[in-house]
Structure 1
């Protein structure tokens, strides 16, 4: 059993290979992918493995920093800082998709920029245990409609207000 949130994989290698294959099946080299934190769990022990996995993932990758991405002082782990992110990793990212304002972070927010003007908020961290408010939702890989695969804005907002 994995030492993380229970997942349907027999080993961490099986977990990682599934995610890499699922990611690359829907992401092209020039696609933008926002990763909402906790990119890697064992940063100190597995730096070479993390760099190898990152290199295999297609797309222009952005990171919202998660709690497992930092050291005890809150600094981004050097292994993650050294990866070829499309921009410097941040705790939150504001962007647009199809003309829709979008606030991205690892942690759920109960209010976010332009919330009252129709902005959306995507978060991870909570493993489906924290319901969204209004136009916010958990988009973690372990959500049933995400299924360990990057999803588009349209897929993630289907059925939302």
Structure 2
């Protein structure tokens, strides 16, 4: 199968399997649930393969809590590199590096362990959905503050109306499906 067919297969799977939930996690937010995509083996394989394309020179994949963990691990395996779980606050034992950020429905904090040396490492940030861009932006900032080189970010689904891409202008941002 050629690259166009592989990408089309991934896009079709995301479009067909994404479950949209209104007013979650708060009223007014439309949540794109990709767990049905992850539950179908061929869909997960094609999505992970597409997210990895063009990022062959990466030292580490940073998967964002929690669905980004699933994708990040797959992309790291595809690229033959390590994976770093970027966690929500309070999930890692201290000491940690932290970064606060705004969500479309509040604020949050991300953390990584201080035990992982990031200086000079080429890192790809991976998540499931790009909405307002706050989570990806905060992750990239957290990693860059520790000396990482952000080579790009890759997401499965981008909600274009929320203009999150504008916050992620310091590095290439790829997505499979824009809605």
Q: TM-score range by the shorter chain?
A: 0.3 to 0.5
By percentage of residues, which structure has more strand? 2
TM-score by length of 1: 0.34
Normalised by the length of structure 2, the TM-score is 0.31
Instruction: Return the structure number with greater helix share.
Output: 2
